């Protein structure tokens, strides 16, 4: 544990970033979020306190009380990315949601921590609100550097592109160099093949999170006709959805697809438990991936718990926690980069 560094996280979710920071040796005092369901996984799996509060209601003095006296202060966060995604731009996501990033900037201005870390979707950098965010940091004399990160380059077994912004009062923070190349990218097989087999709609008796959704008779026929890494174009025409036969639907080839053992997975989303929501079919078994498999592909440890033992496991609920999380290994890489940077000035 690096005692001279203290961290506060905004938009903490289920704790992916915090858990990665802990693995990098950084102590996260508290995490803020507006989702009550995050409290159990955040506090159960991490050594941090969860605060249920909207950042709009938080001020710099609130944060200061959690930074250790004399420590190098780090304020980290991943404002919800839905407002900045390609889908949201296409269908008009409410711009009022962009205020979350503006509130992040406000809190930075009020407490001026030595280090700021922000992770989001790549599309964010094309929005004016991001340029305003960077300008505020520049005006506060931060050295700012933004990275386009391919998660595959760091051993995360999914094709996930992220924007990582690191800002420091000392100097520019260099992100840890990639640890993997295409020849040794981590695969689906290396990540989930050890788990017990399941049929569609079944759950493991030893791990409540290793459960998969049911399939209709039609979708069961579809997945049985699906090849690992293939598309619905491999099916007999009778199984193809009418919308995919239209010109507008022909480009959506990844839906109703199986993953391939020897390849990374696609980006894990909040709907990753559904066979029809993307390439979320199991490589071999006739079902969608389980919630535990999704969590592993997000590099959560296998023992990470998302729901209390006496609470039911709801697919939509847990899928949202997993899909919205920062991959733990990416959090660890960010934490290592920050720790190494600070050590260079001590």
| Residues with active-site annotation | 81
d(CA 40, CA 135): 36
* Helix residue ranges, H only, the chain: 16-23, 39-45, 60-64, 86-91, 99-111, 128-139, 188-192, 217-224, 242-245, 291-297, 315-323, 328-343
313-317 contact pairs (CB < 8 A, 24+)? 313/203, 313/208, 313/209, 313/211, 315/213, 315/273, 315/291, 317/37
Burial 89-102 (b: 16+ CB within 10 A, else e): eeeeeeeeebebbe
Question: How is 181-237 classified by DSSP, letter by letter?
Answer: -GGG---HHHHHTTSPP--TT-B-SS-TT-B-----HHHHHHHHTPPBT--GGGS-G
Q: Residue 23 contacts by C-beta under 8 Å, 6 or more apart in sequence?
A: 328, 331, 332, 335
CA distance to 6, 19, 20, 77, 340, per residue, from 25 (Å): 11, 10, 9, 18, 11
């Amino acid at each position: 544990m690096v005692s001279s560094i203290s961290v506060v996280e905004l938009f903490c979710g289920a704790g992916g970033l915090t858990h990665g920071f802990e693995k990098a040796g950084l102590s996260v005092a508290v995490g803020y979020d507006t989702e009550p369901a995050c409290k159990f996984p955040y506090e159960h799996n991490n050594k941090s306190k969860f605060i249920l509060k909207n950042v709009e209601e938080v001020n710099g003095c609130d944060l200061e009380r959690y930074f250790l006296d004399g420590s190098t202060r780090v304020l980290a966060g991943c404002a919800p990315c839905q407002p900045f995604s390609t889908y949201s731009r296409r269908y008009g996501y409410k711009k009022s949601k962009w205020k979350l990033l503006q509130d992040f900037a406000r809190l930075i201005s009020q407490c001026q921590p030595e280090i700021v870390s922000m992770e989001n979707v790549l599309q964010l950098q094309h929005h004016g609100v991001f340029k305003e965010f960077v300008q505020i940091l520049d005006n506060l004399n931060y050295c700012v550097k933004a990275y386009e990160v391919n998660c595959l380059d760091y051993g995360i077994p999914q094709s996930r592109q992220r924007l990582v912004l690191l800002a420091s009062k000392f100097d520019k923070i260099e992100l840890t160099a990639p640890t993997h190349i295409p020849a040794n990218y981590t695969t689906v097989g290396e990540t989930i093949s050890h788990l017990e087999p399941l049929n569609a709609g079944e759950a493991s008796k030893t791990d409540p999170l290793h459960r998969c959704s049911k399939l209709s008779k039609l979708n069961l026929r579809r997945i049985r006709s699906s090849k690992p890494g293939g598309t619905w174009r491999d099916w007999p025409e009778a199984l193809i959805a009418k919308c995919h036969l239209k010109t507008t639907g022909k480009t959506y080839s990844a839906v109703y697809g199986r993953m391939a053992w020897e390849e990374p997975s696609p980006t894990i989303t909040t709907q990753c438990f559904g066979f029809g929501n993307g390439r979320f079919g199991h490589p071999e078994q006739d079902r969608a991936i389980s919630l535990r498999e999704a969590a592993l592909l997000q590099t959560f440890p296998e023992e990470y718990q998302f729901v209390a033992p006496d609470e039911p496991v709801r697919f939509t609920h847990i899928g949202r926690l997993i899909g919205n999380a920062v991959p733990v290994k990416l959090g660890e890489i960010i934490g290592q980069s920050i720790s190494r940077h600070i050590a260079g000035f001590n």
